[in-house]
A and B are shown apart, each in its own frame.
Chain A
Amino acid sequence: MSAVIDHGHAGHDHHHGPAKGLMRWVLTTNHKDIGTMYLWFSFAMFLLGGSMAMVIRAELFQPGLQIVQPEFFNQMTTMHGLIMVFGAVMPAFVGLANWMIPLMIGAPDMALPRMNNFSFWLLPAAFSMLVSTLFMEGGGPNFGWTFYAPLSTTYAPESVTFFIFAIHLMGFSSIMGAINVVATILNLRAPGMTLMKMPLFVWTWLITAFLLIAVMPVLAGVVTMMLMDIHFGTSFFSAAGGGDPVLFQHVFWFFGHPEVYIMILPAFGAVSAIIPAFARKPLFGYTSMVYATASIAFLSFIVWAHHMFTVGIPLTGELFFMYATLLIAVPTGVKVFNWASTMWRGSMTFETPMLFAVAFVILFTIGGFSGLMLAIAPADFQYHDTYFVVAHFHYVLVPGAIFGIFASAYFWLPKWTGHMYDETLGKLHFWMSFIGMNMAFFPMHFVGLAGMPRRIPDYNMMFANFNMVSSIGAFMFGATQLLFLFIVIKCIRGGKAAPAKPWDGAEGLEWTIPSPAPYHTFQTPPDMSDEHEHRKGLAHD
């Protein structure tokens, strides 16, 4: 309607600031507001999921049952996984996408702003419902974040129905968010910005969005089948009724494997922006980065059964999934080599975003190495479902996804808030996180190889030493994240004023607008045609 009234006055739109009061946030269709809400929501979930990890590590501090009983322990491991995956990591990347994609491609907003609002507000509803199950009679989900049937159907607590509905809501939210990203990138790029000129963060998010659209319906399908089994008398996953419990795992991992790339590809993109900025040197092998990302996305669809090497799939299946999984190392290797080459002969400085980005490359690669080991099917018979796997996926998710998010947050905080964050505290946050995280997760490789299964509340004394080290590291990592909260609040409230481009080596359209970014940006799209860029480049020197 406002479009009709304002017709002919479009040029004045940027004078309109945000609405006042609470309703600004409820009704907003502004990509920056929605991005901010996504990021705060994700951080709240990160602290909630993290506090559950603290319960887990406190119980595992010593052998014996001390703090919680096994039933509650299982609820903690399950909720920790669900909240971190669906509540912390995924919304954080959607928040970054909301904030940065329009700024990076010179678009005034996301393509579908009202749907954007709806996809955010579904999340608090979904997670309130999910977390409320902890207070229900019989407890919350206790069957692991992978919720294998029939433990999650016939043998589940009654709250499982609420869990299913919560997953549905998260799925709607993700699919809408992904459609929005695709529509924005394909339709709202500034004139002259061809696909191969897009920043890598935009590329990786475009590919991530297609992955989301492809696999979130599969997740919705598998939980719907569970719902049917529990309430409507079907037997999809019940052997007694002629169903197949292994079918559950095939369908789940067909979603689950692309899902793990959904949680890492946007971080690849962010790091590909940050490392060149602080090496003061262009990204090495842009084109190969794009193709490598696309290859990883394709391969993610044909490797799902490597999560199921022990379910008894036939030899040929086992071999196929082993070879396909090994192949993923090739494009992933290309990315790591490209990042290292970008650093090579640069002129590097190590501000907090760069510290997190470099730690990302090194520690993610360590997670990649253990992934390679896990891909070897006969060796996986020894690793599968032990703490070695827990170490592996925490190495790709914590210094992978989470460090990628921290690096992005520090990199773009000056643009978001108009202030520089406190560099000393930022570095302290990095080093505490780095030490805590390695202390928590590296010893898990050892106890896993020594024979400790995952998801157990108690263990033999031979695992005691490293479990205690793990717990101390985890407490350190957990406590450090409160420091991050303090740094962000401090940065919002004040600090040195940030220039439009606070990092001298940074590239991209987001640095051409003032800091903090005005409420409305790129009402008139910037001209990105080669000729125009060339002129600008000369003027710059």
Chain B
Amino acid sequence: MGFLLWLVFSSAYASWGVNMTPGATEVSRTVFDLHMTIFWICVVIGVIVFGAMFWSMLVHRRSTGQQPAHFHESTTVEILWTVVPLVILVLMAIPATKTLIEIYDSSESELDIQITGYQWKWHYKYLGEDVEFFSNLTTPKDQINNKATKGEHYLLEVDEPLVVPVGTKVRFLITAADVIHSWWVPALAVKKDAIPGFINESWTRIDEPGLYRGQCTELCGKDHGFMPIVVEAKSKEDYAVWLAERKQLAMAEKELTSKEWTLDELMVRGEKAYNTACVACHQASGEGLPPMFPSLKGSAIATGPAAGHIGIVVNGKPGTSMAAFGKQLSEVDIAAIITYERNAWGNAVGDMVTPKDILAFKQAQE
């Protein structure tokens, strides 16, 4: 036991932090002050009430020869300890109301970002900018399974952080595609549920450039603990450069659809895309976690006609966790994933599904 304690407590990243941090925005500092105010009010009340109780327990004992008093009611006292707490509560409610009104005012935003929760990743879309991407956990499986040393940002690191400019009122439009998630970044004091069929609003204005980390806070299934949030605040100039790069990247991605692909190229890209989008349920071995998440290895769909395989990946399977990836992934990635699934783990169909096939399939549906 002692050794274990030493092992953990001596870890470089462990901490004994006991409180909320003031955070990185005006709102988060106000919330922090509110938190500390109510905390100290509780401490004062606690010291008085518990102090009286402990005094009584020390002094008013039979062992000290104490004779019991007989008083058992007093209307005056009852009124007093009804009214005084009421007054304290009213005093507490005033700053809370002010802060709440401020938090609810998401008007006059300068940048709108749509946030969509998926099982188990976040999707960010910069409205009016034609830039959108998924943000996935990048912590390697080996670290989670204790086969490798855990890094400082274990479980709080993603491939693509949400990038926002500092000093700008950013409005978040938060929703979900499957179950309810909740988008929380403690340093911004923003926590809002992502609910399918609803669009919730929230906003922030970050003062300083930096990385701010958070997690999904509404139980959303198996990998609820593995869908972190990272917000990268950049200076306005850096943000403009970043946005331009992203736009170019999006153009290049679209051109890939018309490129002539070879089986090997698709397999390489497919493995990578599979390990981002599919691996949580169907597992790296392709064996899934039956019966909730079926095996793809030797499955009828993955080894049957390509049309059926494309259909389920593009449209999903209603009533199950299998999402419609047609709206989530590019044609290139879908084609690569399907090709990979048909030719990995001993599945040896040997055929190749190209981005053009996916495009044709989607157009035929419309």
Contact = CB atoms under 8 A, between A and B. Distances in A.
Interface of A: 62-66, 70-71, 74, 137-139, 142-144, 148, 150-151, 154-155, 157-158, 239-240, 243-246, 279-288, 310-312, 315, 318-319, 322-323, 326-327, 329-330, 333-334, 336-337, 340-350, 358, 361-362, 365-366, 369, 372-373, 376-379, 381-382, 384-386, 445-446, 449-451, 453-462, 464-466, 468, 472, 505
A326 B92 contact: yes
Interface residues of B, number: 105
21 contacts: A64-B144, A64-B146, A151-B221, A239-B198, A245-B196, A281-B72, A284-B73, A312-B192, A312-B195, A337-B77, A347-B62, A347-B66, A348-B61, A376-B34, A376-B35, A377-B96, A381-B191, A449-B20, A457-B225, A458-B225, A461-B11
Interface string B65-109: 011111111100110011001100100110011011101100000
B198 A246 contact: yes
Interface in B130-181: 143-146, 150, 152-156, 178-180
A424 B89 CA distance: 43
A501 B332 CA distance: 82
B211 interface: no
Interface stretch (B42-50, B234-242, B263-271, B335-343): B42-50
> Interface residues of B: mostly helix, strand, loop or mixed?
mixed
Contacts of B291: 137-138, 158
A378 B15 contact: no
Contacts of A151: 179-180, 219-221
Contacts of A148: 179-180, 218-219
A326 B49 CA distance: 19
A456 B225 contact: yes
A449 B180 contact: no
B190 A381 contact: yes
Contacts of A369: 42, 45-46
A137 B292 CA distance: 9
Given A284-B73, A376-B34, A365 B89 contact: no
Contacts of A138: 291-292
A458 B180 contact: no
A365 B196 contact: no
B172 to A, nearest CB: 12
Nearest to B151: A461
Nearest to A505: B68
Nearest to B62: A347
A459 B139 CA distance: 12
Interface string B262-304: 0000000000000000000000000001011000000000000
* 8 tightest A-B CB contacts, nearest first: A239-B197, A456-B225, A312-B200, A461-B13, A369-B42, A345-B69, A282-B72, A385-B217
A451 B213 CA distance: 10
A243 to B, nearest CB: 8
A455 B20 CA distance: 19
Contact of A381 (B155, B189, B197): B189
B95 to A, nearest CB: 9
Contacts of B82: 330, 333-334
